[in-house]
Amino acid sequence: MRRDTFLKSLAALAAAGSLPLSAQAAAAVKMMLPANPGGGWDTTGRALGKALQDAGQAASVTYDNKGGAAGAIGLAQFVNGSKGDPNAMMVMGAVMLGGIITGKPPVNLTQATPLARLTSEYNVFVLPANSPFKNMAEVIAQLKKDPGSVKWGGGSRGSTEHIAAAMIAREVGVDPSKINYVAFRGGGEAISAILGGNVTVGGSGYSEFAEYIGTGKMKPIGVTSGQRLKGVDVPTLKEQGINVEIGNWRGVYGAPGITKAQRDALVAMIEKATKSKAWAEALQKNDWTPAWLAGDAFGEFVDQEFASLRATMVKSGMV
Per-residue pLDDT tens digits for 62-97:
999 998 888 999 999 999 999 999 999 999 999 899
Under the banding of pLDDT at 50, 70 and 90, the label for residue 40 is: confident
pLDDT at 20: 41
pLDDT at 14: 44
Task: Output 10 or 170, whichever has higher pLDDT.
Answer: 170
**Backbone φ, ψ for residue 153 (5° rounding):** -110, 140
> Which domains are present in the chain?
27-111+254-286 (3.40.190.150), 120-238 (3.40.190.10)
Task: Determine the average pLDDT of the residues in 119-132.
Answer: 94
Taking the whole predicted model, whether its pTM rises above 0.85 is answered as no
Residues 248/95, Cβ–Cβ less than 8 Å: yes
Give percent of the chain with pLDDT exceeding 70. Answer: 91
pLDDT at 289: 87
> Average pLDDT, whole number, for the chain?
89
Residues 77/71, Cβ–Cβ less than 8 Å: no
